Structure 1
Amino acid sequence: MQSYHLTQWVLFFFIYSFIGWVWECCFVSVRKRRWVNRGFMYGPMLPIYGFGALAVLISTIRVRDSIPLIFLFGMVGATLLEYVTGAVMERLFNVKYWDYSNQKFNLNGYICLTSSLGWGLFSVLLVKFVHVPIEGAVLKIPTIIAEGIAFVLTVAAAVDVTQSFNDAMDLKRILAQLEESKKQIRKIQEKLKVASEEFVEDYRQRAGEFVEDYRQRAGEFVEDYRRRVEEHVEDYRGRAEEMAEDYKKLAEEHMDSYRQRAEEMVEGYKEEIKVQKKKRREQINSRKEEYLARVHARREERQRLLARLSERAELLMKEEFTSKVDELIGEDKREEYAKIKKNISREMTKMHDRTDRSYIRAARHLKGNPTAVSKRFSEALAELRKHMDEK
């Protein structure tokens, strides 16, 4: 293998990047049973294969005549390149674009024994068979034409890499936002659950206190009312007994007087007796009217008292109910609910900020890398893939 100048190395890089793209697209499309534009970039190239081929060619320059050494050197060089590339890309984008975690004898999912053996076999095929005709074709290209082709391909690749890098960053940003949004929503749900449980428990406790306090106040009110009624009834009973006693004494006095006069003036004072009877009826009626007047006065007084007590009880109920409602909600609970509402509003704003264009670019990038995984954004990546499958 002779030495090459820079332009020829650049052409080799693009040729093997294209061959790697064809291989990956065919292999993945057959497995997925649909066409898959495999790779990190928009254009028909996979840089990992281009750099891998260069690594194999450079590492096997001195051992080109020994197939075992080509296998060994090529395997080691390509495996190191694959590990470094995978680690750097995951560190940069938080996404592992290939994952050998399910393979035996893997190292952090970036490389595995099967892949390394494949690189060794690829190295032998490349050096002994594939590179020979490609080398001849490239060496026949005039230098000025080769430089022009290399320049155009480099510019196109630079533009493609820039756009693909932006897409990868969009995917990273979308995954980070989705993951953060899921975490925030879970936190909000947990806070609402806890707040609801606390509210229900606090409401139950305070409602019990309120009912107990109201029952106590109602008992006091009923007891006070009963006591006042008993006082009034006792007072009415005492007054009625006094009036009955007075009436009895008065009647007895009048009866004795009437009897004496009747005996003394049976014959001569019949008219007088009639007059006295009339006066007596008038006096009795007058006393009855006075008694009824006092009864009516007492009744009106009791009615006014009951009205005042009723108004007071109603006022106490209103004041007590209002204060209890304030206590049931509480200022701290009100602030907590306001904070939760603010967090929900913030999450809604973030959702609106995630534009359709960003989602489309991230989805296109993810479709080209169906084996991509992410430890940090595993749930978000699964959700994004689910939306892609639904479409």
Structure 2
Amino acid sequence: MMLGLYTLPQWVLLFFSYGFLGWVWESGYVSVRQKHWVNRGFLHGPVIPIYGFGAVAILALCAPVAGSLPMLFFSGMFWATALEYATGWAMERMFHVRYWDYSTEKWNLNGYICLMASLCWGVFSVLLLRVIQPPVAGIITGLSGPATAMLATALTLAFAADVAASTREALDLRRLLEQLSASREQIARLQRRLEIAGVFLQQDAREALDGLRKEGERAAGVVSLRLEAARERRRRMLWQMSRQLEQLRREGKLHPGLTGPDQKAIQRELSAMHRRTDEMYRRAARVLQRNPGSTTSRHPEAMEELRTLTGSEP
């Protein structure tokens, strides 16, 4: 079945071809900036979908104006920028994380798009239709129909499995950020209740983060050691809070009716801490390692803590 210039399997192969080329570009660029290899993108495999979808959209929508260089440039820039904005907005709503953030760039719109990136999309559109597409299309259309269909099917199945696994990791990251934020708020509330021990406990929390960084330097890449150290520090902090609450209750400085809920809150936090398994942290770490520039406006402190715990600091 023909869909415009190509059959459906051929469109699928074009999507994967440009998704792969986008992955090569992004991984190479980010790796140079980070000074170590980065498998860039939301997925595990060598495909960045926004490049694939962007290329297919440009091929389908900009072909009628391909004869005019200015029209091709601005048309491609418009459609690709619209796709980038919609994708960034949807992913942040779904996962509470920005996988790219242009907030520090000039002439950006809500951090999802910026003028420089849009201009790059325009240049890419011209190169795509005038330079890159002819040889790529020649290779794909040169394949037999059965070979094209089989290859497109195999790549689609692998892609679907990758999307499922990567989405699970992204949702784990979201849950961890939410849980760590809730944990920080709960501990801060208990610290405020413990006026006598408040300053000491807050200082201990800051020292814990610094301590984790130092331990991370000694045990780089050993996520389980970082996590166990963090659990032990938080466990000691919660036990200290529990003892302080009980002491204040005995001394009559807190009403007995108020200490009960606080003690239960401490027990809930201890239980929640142990439910956050090492594997959940590892899955979240893989997302952060593939996207070192990712940010979150909802849980910034939790993101910093998670990067420190997993050794995923940019």
- Which TM-score band applies after superposition, normalised by the shorter structure? 0.7 to 0.9
- Partner Cα distance (1:32, 1:376) in 2: 25
Residue 341 of structure 1 is aligned with which of 253, 259, 263?
A: 263
**1:371 alignment counterpart:** 293
Residue 252 of structure 2 is aligned with which of 311, 329, 346?
A: 329
Alignment deviations for residues 109-148 of structure 1 (CA, whole Å, 9 cap, x no partner): 0000000000000000111001110011111011111000
* Partner amino acid, structure 1, of 2:150: G
Residue 173 of structure 2 is aligned with which of 171, 174, 181?
A: 171
**2:236 alignment counterpart:** none
Alignment of structure 1 residues 173-212 onto 2, 5 Å: 173-193=175-195
- Partner Cα distance (1:96, 1:141) in 2: 39
Radius of gyration: which is bigger?
1
Cα 1:327–1:158 shift into 2, 3 Å:
closer
RMSD: 2.1
Q: Which runs of 5+ in 2 are unaligned?
A: 199-248
- Partner Cα distance (2:103, 2:23) in 1: 23
SS at the partner of 2:111? coil
Cα 1:327–1:40 shift into 2, 3 Å:
closer
Cα 1:192–1:105 shift into 2, 3 Å:
same
Alignment of structure 1 residues 203-222 onto 2, 5 Å: none
- Partner Cα distance (1:195, 1:3) in 2: 72
Alignment deviations for residues 4-44 of structure 1 (CA, whole Å, 9 cap, x no partner): 11111100000000111111110000000000010101111
**1:59 alignment counterpart:** 61
Alignment deviations for residues 178-201 of structure 1 (CA, whole Å, 9 cap, x no partner): 1110011101111122899xxxxx
**1:96 alignment counterpart:** 98
Alignment of structure 1 residues 4-153 onto 2, 5 Å: 4-153=6-155
* Partner amino acid, structure 2, of 1:385: R
Residue 160 of structure 1 is aligned with which of 153, 159, 162?
A: 162
**1:241 alignment counterpart:** none
- Partner Cα distance (1:131, 1:193) in 2: 68
SS at the partner of 1:60? helix
**1:252 alignment counterpart:** none
- Partner Cα distance (1:191, 1:72) in 2: 59
* Partner amino acid, structure 1, of 2:114: C
- Partner Cα distance (1:328, 1:31) in 2: 58
- Partner Cα distance (2:85, 2:77) in 1: 12
Residue 382 of structure 1 is aligned with which of 282, 286, 304?
A: 304
Q: Which has the higher helix share?
A: 1
* Partner amino acid, structure 2, of 1:361: R
- Partner Cα distance (2:32, 2:26) in 1: 10
Whether the 8 Å CA contact 2:50–2:84 is kept in 1: the answer is yes
Alignment deviations for residues 219-239 of structure 1 (CA, whole Å, 9 cap, x no partner): xxxxxxxxxxxxxxxxxxxxx
Alignment deviations for residues 22-68 of structure 1 (CA, whole Å, 9 cap, x no partner): 11110000000000010101111100110111111112110111111
Aligned-pair identity in percent equals 47
* Partner amino acid, structure 2, of 1:100: Y
Runs of 4+ residues deviating >4 angstroms: none
- Partner Cα distance (1:72, 1:118) in 2: 11
Whether the 8 Å CA contact 2:17–2:52 is kept in 1: the answer is yes
Whether the 8 Å CA contact 2:288–2:312 is kept in 1: the answer is no
Bigger RCO of structures 1 and 2 (CA < 8 A, at least 6 apart)? 1
Q: How many residues align?
A: 262
TM-score (norm 2): 0.80
Shift of 1:388: 3.0
TM-score (norm 1): 0.64
* Partner amino acid, structure 2, of 1:105: W
Alignment deviations for residues 47-93 of structure 1 (CA, whole Å, 9 cap, x no partner): 01101111111121101111111101100000000000000000000
Alignment deviations for residues 228-267 of structure 1 (CA, whole Å, 9 cap, x no partner): xxxxxxxxxxxxxxxxxxxxxxxxxxxxxxxxxxxxxxxx
Shift of 1:387: 2.3
* Partner amino acid, structure 2, of 1:329: G
